[in-house]
Amino acid sequence: MSILARCETRRLQGLWAKLGLDPAYKLLRGPECGLVMLRGRTGGTGEAFNIGEATVTRASVKLDDGSVGHAMALGRDHLKARLSAIVDALCQNVETASLINAEIIAPISRELDGADEKRLMQTAATRVDFFTMVRGEDDAS
Amino acid sequence: MYVSVKGGEAAIDNAHRLLADRRRGDRSVPALTLDQIAEQLVLGVDRVMSEGSLYDRRLAALAIKQARGDLIEAIFLVRAYRTTLPRFGFAEPVDTGAMLVERRISACYKDLPGGQLLGPTFDYTHRLLDEALDGDPEVEPGETREGATEPVSRIADILGGEGLIEEEISGNDEPDDINQTPLEFPLSRAMRLQSLARGDEGFLLALGYSTQRGYARSHPFAGEIRIGEVEVEVFMPELGFAVPVGRVQLTECQMVNQFKGSAKVPPQFTRGYGLVFGQSERKAMAMALCDRALRAGELGEDIVAPAQDQEFVISHCDNVQATGFVEHLKLPHHVDFQAELGLVRTMRTQFEQAESAMENKEAAE
């Protein structure tokens, strides 16, 4: 769900279309947009406090075989929530789960990790390397 | 007798039409897209998200466009939009220790685990206008550096090991919400932090500055500032566990302040905390300074300055409330004014009568 929540809708749509699955489903809820209150902790580790809200969109679906899928992601993208819920429902079945993992989750996960890696490397290039100047009198002895 | 009290509908309609016209400006200049605002005016978008108290980049970009770049107006639009959506619930408190750090600096330690990571900062720029940006120059991508990155540890963990700094221990995980609880002073620290997190950057900056200049001196050090993305998790009752729903970018400031001890507690550094949406270290630092100043009562300090006064700070830090009350002065006060006018006239008549009575008395003598 972490991967689906973070992926771009167009990418998910593309991979989904390639998979060629088209299960019949019923929407149990949504897709609907709402808010969640984000929380932090004082000093990073102390008591919880509210920072402010974020938009989220959620959806729940039921496939004809009875499996139920849920999705919730930051933002206001109904299509993404709906597709993610269907994918989640399909993952209840062991066979389709491995197919989905291989064809959808794994490639998106690799791309997201790659983007993180690039960011970390760019940040690493801005790390300060301190060096110490050695003054003349120190090596006189 | 009735006097005219209605009117102006056509004038208002035309004023709004003129506003739309001026917003669009010269039609031969291409219209701004939300992508352009969200990508190239990121820090303005971050401010609107933070003070609008709603994390949604695209909505903030739309608000900036609609408000013609007036950020407080944009914040107002976002706050208003937010009230139209249902609240699904609360996220688990974010773990800023596990942040995917884009910038992290400490003014307390030179060498600390994870290092000083400057990230995309204005610091060390010479603040000279770059005329090349008048055009669209080719821009190189950021330099990269290979190699394993160390975990970026928190400043409090370094000092905390020796007991030199107050510990922040998790406790109450159901903080009151300023949207749902009436403000009653004194407020809990959680409610103060929520107010400060959406408070006006300029107001908090000025108050933070006042503490540095001696109005409630707390001798601060920027213990640590970090910017980056954290995972948001929301508990879903239908699943029975919390699921990740995406990431948000936050700026965190840990201010390390003047130490204090008592009969029971040995001397140790105290702390102020700032946490805001997006990349906004000025706001996070100002918030941390104000948070520390507002802890005066709890830490047994004398309350002598505005920044320490909860009621003053919290009641005036919200720029939507402030602009509402200041700008309401533009609304018709015709009747109030007529009443005051009548009163001044009466007072003047009385004054003149008293004066001429005095003159007559003097003349008689």
| pLDDT tens figures, B322-353 | 999 999 999 888 888 899 999 999 999 999 99
- Which candidate, B256, B236, B266, places its Cα nearest to that of B92? B236
Smallest Cα distance from A32 to chain B, Å: 10
For residue A29, how far is the Cα from the chain centroid? 21
B59 vs A: CB within 8 A: yes
Token pair for residue B8?
């102006």
Could you tell me the pLDDT band of residue A136, with boundaries at 50, 70 and 90?
A: low
The mean pLDDT of B218-222, rounded to a whole number, is: 88
- Residue B187 clears pLDDT 60, i.e. is over it: yes
- Which chain B residues contact residue A120 at CB under 8 A? 100, 149
- Residue B286 clears pLDDT 60, i.e. is over it: yes
- Residue A1 clears pLDDT 50, i.e. is over it: yes
- Which candidate, A88, A91, A29, A16, places its Cα nearest to that of A59? A29
Amino acid code (one letter) for B136: D
- Which chain A residues contact residue B145 at CB under 8 A? 121, 124-125, 127
Is A42 within 8 Å of B168 when comparing Cβ atoms? yes
- Residue B1 clears pLDDT 60, i.e. is over it: no
Most confidently modeled range among B8-12, B33-37, B128-132: B33-37
Residue A110 within a domain: yes
Q: Lowest mean pLDDT: which of B129-143, B229-243, B255-269?
A: B255-269
Could you tell me the pLDDT band of residue B268, with boundaries at 50, 70 and 90?
A: confident
Region for residue A52 given its phi and psi (left: phi exceeds 0; alpha: psi -120 to 50; beta: otherwise): left
pTM to 2 decimal places: 0.91
Q: What stretch of H or E contains B322?
A: helix B319-327
Region for residue A129 given its phi and psi (left: phi exceeds 0; alpha: psi -120 to 50; beta: otherwise): beta
- Residue B53 clears pLDDT 90, i.e. is over it: yes
Which residue in chain B is spatially nearest to A48 when comparing CA positions?
Answer: B173
Residue A94 within a domain: yes
Smallest Cα distance from A66 to chain B, Å: 15
Residue B4: the pLDDT is: 59
Residue A9 within a domain: yes
Looking at this predicted complex, what is its ipTM?
Answer: 0.91
Average pLDDT of every residue of chain B = 91
- Which chain A residues contact residue B239 at CB under 8 A? 70
Chain B stretch 16-45, residues whose beta carbon is closer than 8 A to a beta carbon of chain A: none
Q: Which residue has the higher pLDDT, B3 or B83?
A: B83
Could you tell me the pLDDT band of residue A140, with boundaries at 50, 70 and 90?
A: very low
d(CA A115, CA B223) in angstroms, rounded, equals 29
- Residue A83 clears pLDDT 50, i.e. is over it: yes
- Residue B165 clears pLDDT 90, i.e. is over it: no
Residue A28 within a domain: yes
Token pair for residue A68?
């139920």
Share of residues in chain A with pLDDT > 90 (%): 68
The mean pLDDT of B51-79, rounded to a whole number, is: 97
d(CA B54, CA B145) in angstroms, rounded, equals 35
- Which chain A residues contact residue B190 at CB under 8 A? 42, 47-50
Residue A69 within a domain: yes
B229 forms bridges with which residues in the sheet?
A: B100, B249
Residue A136 within a domain: no
Burial (CB count <10 Å: 0-12, 13-18, 19+), residue B121: middle
Task: Say how many domains are in chain A.
Answer: 1
Q: Lowest mean pLDDT: which of A32-41, A75-84, B9-18, B176-185?
A: B176-185
Residue B171: the pLDDT is: 76
Residue B5: the pLDDT is: 62
Residue A141: the pLDDT is: 44
Q: Lowest mean pLDDT: which of A86-95, A96-105, B258-267?
A: B258-267
Q: Which domain holds residue A68?
A: 2-32+60-121
Q: Lowest mean pLDDT: which of A87-96, B55-64, B184-193?
A: A87-96
Residue A128 within a domain: no
Q: Lowest mean pLDDT: which of A91-95, B87-91, B168-172?
A: B168-172
Residue A139: the pLDDT is: 54
Residue B114: the pLDDT is: 87
Query: Which one of B47, B56, B92 makes the best mutation probe of the A interface by having the most chain A beta carbons within 10 Å?
Result: B56
Amino acid code (one letter) for B166: E
Could you tell me the pLDDT band of residue A80, with boundaries at 50, 70 and 90?
A: very high
The neighbour count for residue B94, using CB atoms within 10 Å, is: 25
- Which chain A residues contact residue B123 at CB under 8 A? none
d(CA A96, CA B276) in angstroms, rounded, equals 41
Residue A42 within a domain: no
Share of residues in chain B with pLDDT > 90 (%): 72
The neighbour count for residue B154, using CB atoms within 10 Å, is: 24
B108 vs A: CB within 8 A: no
